């Protein structure tokens, strides 16, 4: 009868050298982080004033072309690049009179916009979603 093969010894199969794993630097581009935390439903934008409609010597509504979105708060719908928004600013300007002369056709502004979801009204119609200005930033402001 042939001699039985002996099983390899357990300690003989163990190697003391282990493979070395090295981490690579993450090269995934990340969008720039603004230092200011934005509230839910808000966006910080740079925009060009396309037109201003006045109501009794007060800016009543403006048309903006978005030139850059600097940041979004949580749950804020995206604003497509170069989109045009019509915004009623009469209430904002009357509450913040220092901004009465900020809205001039052709000027660039930096502002915090607040998203307003339209209300559901009779027959399933929607009153329309809209944006409102909640703050004006200085162009060099990086908060």
d(CA 53, CA 32): 35
| pTM exceeds 0.75, yes or no | no
Q: What is the pLDDT of residues 69-94, one digit of tens each?
A: 999 999 899 998 899 999 999 999 99
What is the chain's mean pLDDT, rounded?
A: 81
pLDDT per residue as tens digits for the range 22-37: 777 766 544 444 446 8
Higher pLDDT, 3 or 98: 98
Phi, psi of 63 (to 5 degrees): -115, 125
Collapse the DSSP code of 87 into the 3-class scheme (helix H, G, I; strand E, B; otherwise coil) and give the result: strand
Q: How far apart are CA 99 and CA 42, in angstroms?
A: 19
What domains are there in the chain, each with its CATH number? 44-137 (2.40.50)
Question: What per-residue confidence (pLDDT) applies to 7?
Answer: 61
Q: What pLDDT score was predicted for residue 17?
A: 73
Say what the pLDDT of residue 25 is.
75
What distance lies between CA 42 and its chain's CA centroid? 8
pLDDT bracket for residue 132 (50, 70, 90): very high
pLDDT-derived band at 99 (thresholds 50, 70, 90) equals: very high
The rounded percent of the chain whose pLDDT value lies above 70 is 70
């Amino acid at each position: 009868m042939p001699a039985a093969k002996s099983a390899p010894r357990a300690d003989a199969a163990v190697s003391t050298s282990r493979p070395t794993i090295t981490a690579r630097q993450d090269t995934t581009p990340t969008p720039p982080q603004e230092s200011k935390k934005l509230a839910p439903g808000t966006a910080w934008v740079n925009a060009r004033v396309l037109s201003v409609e006045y109501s009794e010597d007060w800016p009543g509504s403006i048309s903006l072309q978005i030139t850059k979105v600097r940041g979004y708060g949580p749950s804020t719908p995206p604003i497509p690049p170069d989109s045009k928004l019509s915004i009623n600013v009469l209430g904002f300007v009357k509450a913040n009179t220092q901004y009465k002369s900020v809205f001039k056709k052709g000027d660039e502004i930096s502002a915090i916009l607040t998203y307003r979801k339209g209300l559901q009204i009779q027959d399933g119609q929607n009153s329309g979603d809209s944006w409102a200005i909640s703050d004006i930033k200085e162009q060099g402001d990086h908060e």
